[in-house]
């Protein structure tokens, strides 16, 4: 890409400026978003396949932009990672999700886990461990009710800070899972070293589960690998009964996806919990 850029600099330069402008304006918008309370969380239920019951919830960030409307995290999280704003946004997500879960626990929600996504950039912050501990203290949420989702990318480059954090979280009793599993490049040797509890099979493998032999084989391998390492395995992006059946027969432990529930607004969660669909 570098070579191309040099050869076509006249063609690419305006586009690059456009990209930089876009980054700057989104950075400013994001700063305002935090200040003005335009960010909020939705909560997507996860089901246990053996019992067919609700098992956990994943917090997913949303941005209600005053002009653009609802902006997808797929659009603004990468920008926040690039600008470094992810650390402030990530702290807000953690505090909001834990506060919400502690509230629901008081209102009678059973012992479920609240999964929160962490970006690589957050995991490189040496103070992240202190932050999680003080948020748990502040909110009174039991550590076992918090689950942190990390990606395989964590193993790339210098991961000392991240490894220390993960070990600290494990000692504390916080659950850890590897998100988007199968899409990164981590070796199995690394997987053995990571103190995690769960593998989350990426939704790209689920989509064509019935027709794509390769995807089906990968899913079977991930499930048996996970079980051999004593990890729970969850599949995300499950949209149909057929996908669910496939996963259940192969011994997958949990699912998340539109088939069970869409991401819900906070005030819809208790109603869902009182009357969840049976799988």
For binding to Ca ion (CB under 5 A), which residues are involved?
117, 149, 179-180
In SS3 terms, 22-45 reads as HHHHHHHHHHHHHHHCCEEEEEEE
Shortest spacing between CB 67 and ligand C2E, in angstroms: 20
Strand segments, DSSP code E, in the chain are 39-48, 54-65, 69-71, 113-117, 146-151, 175-181, 198-201, 232-236, 254-256, 264-265
Compose the 31-50 pattern: x for residues touching ligand C2E by CB under 6 A, - for all others.
Answer: -------------x------
Task: Pick left, alpha or beta for residue 31 (phi over 0 → left; psi -120 to 50 → alpha; otherwise beta).
Answer: alpha
Give the angle 115-116-117 at the CA atoms, nearest 5°: 125
Supply the minimum distance, in Å, between the C-beta of residue 58 and Ca ion.
Answer: 6
User: With binding defined as CB under 6 A, does residue 279 bind ligand C2E?
Assistant: no
Number of residues that bind ligand C2E (CB under 6 A): 21
Q: Give 29 or 179: the residue with its C-beta nearer to Ca ion.
A: 179
- Over the window 54 to 93, marking each residue x when it contacts ligand C2E by CB under 6 A and - when it does not, the resulting string is ------xx----------xxx--x------------x--x
**Of the listed pieces 130-138, 189-197, 211-219, 237-245, which binds ligand C2E according to CB under 6 A?**
237-245
Phi, psi of 212 (to 5 degrees): -95, 105
Q: How far is the CB of 241 from ligand C2E (least distance, A)?
A: 13
Q: How far apart are CA 219 and CA 191, in angstroms?
A: 17
Three-class secondary structure assignment of 231-243: CEEEEECCCCHHH
Cβ closer to ligand C2E: 12 or 92?
92
Point out which residues bind ligand C2E (CB under 6 A).
44, 60-61, 72-74, 77, 90, 93, 117, 119, 179-180, 203, 236-239, 257-258, 263
């Amino acid at each position: 890409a570098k070579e191309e850029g040099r050869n076509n600099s006249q063609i690419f330069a305006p586009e690059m400026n456009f990209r930089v402008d876009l980054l700057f304006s989104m950075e400013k918008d994001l700063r305002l978003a935090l200040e003005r309370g335009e960010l909020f969380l939705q909560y997507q239920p996860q089901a246990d396949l053996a019992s067919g019951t609700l098992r956990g919830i994943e917090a997913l960030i949303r941005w209600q932009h005053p002009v653009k409307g609802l902006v997808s995290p797929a659009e603004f999280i990468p920008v926040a990672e690039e600008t470094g704003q992810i650390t402030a946004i990530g702290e807000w997500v953690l505090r909001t999700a834990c506060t919400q879960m502690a509230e629901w626990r008081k209102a009678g929600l059973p012992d479920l886990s609240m999964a929160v996504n962490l970006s690589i950039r957050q995991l490189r912050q040496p103070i992240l461990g202190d932050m999680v501990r003080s948020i748990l203290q502040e909110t009174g949420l039991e550590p076992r009710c918090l689950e942190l989702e990390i990606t395989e990318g964590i193993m790339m480059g210098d991961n000392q800070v991240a490894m220390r954090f993960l070990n600290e979280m494990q000692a504390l009793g916080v659950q850890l899972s590897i998100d988007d599993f199968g899409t990164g490049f981590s070796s199995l040797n690394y997987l053995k070293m990571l103190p995690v509890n769960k593998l989350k099979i990426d939704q790209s493998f689920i989509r064509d589960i019935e027709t794509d032999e390769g995807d089906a084989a990968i899913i079977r391998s991930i499930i048996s690998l996970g079980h051999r390492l004593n990890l729970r395995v969850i599949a995300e992006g499950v949209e149909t009964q057929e996908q669910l059946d496939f996963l259940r027969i192969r011994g997958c432990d949990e699912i998340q996806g539109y088939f069970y529930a869409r991401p819900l607004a906070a005030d819809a969660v208790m109603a869902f919990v009182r009357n969840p669909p049976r799988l």
